[in-house]
């Protein structure tokens, strides 16, 4: 999986004028889902964000985890 993010920042400079920055990051990684017998699902992932512009951080680590479960079911699904 490959994700990308860019943000356009503008701010007023101390001496007037406008300073512009565009931090851009690419983030290669992986994500996998595990389906459980009770209709629950666990998703885990790991990515390594890498800054591709001077305004972006050089690198980082992103850890992702989620759990989904249907707590309430309609009468037809019981």
CATH number of the domain enclosing 49? 2.20.200
CB–CB of 48/62 below 8 Å? yes
Owner of token pair 């931090």? 23
Number of domains within the chain = 1
Helix (H, G, I), strand (E, B) or coil at 77: helix
Give 46-61 pLDDT, tens digit per residue: 999 999 988 888 889 9
The tens digit of pLDDT for each residue in 2-32 reads 999 999 888 888 888 888 888 999 999 999 9
Examine residue 35 and state whether it is found in any structural domain, yes or no: yes
**Owning domain of residue 62:** 2-71
* Pairing assessment for the beta strands 24-35 and 50-51 based on DSSP bridges: antiparallel
The first and second tokens of residue 32, run together, are 């996998």
Q: CA 4, CA 26: separation in Å to the nearest integer?
A: 4
pTM above 0.75, yes or no: no
């Amino acid at each position: 999986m490959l994700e990308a993010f860019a943000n356009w920042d503008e701010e007023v400079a101390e001496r007037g004028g406008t300073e512009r920055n565009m931090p851009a990051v690419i983030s290669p990684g992986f994500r996998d889902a595990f389906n459980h017998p009770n209709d629950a699902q666990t998703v885990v992932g790991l990515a390594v964000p890498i800054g591709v512009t001077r305004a972006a951080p050089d690198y980082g680590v992103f850890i992702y985890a989620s759990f989904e479960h249907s707590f309430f079911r309609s009468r037809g699904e019981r």
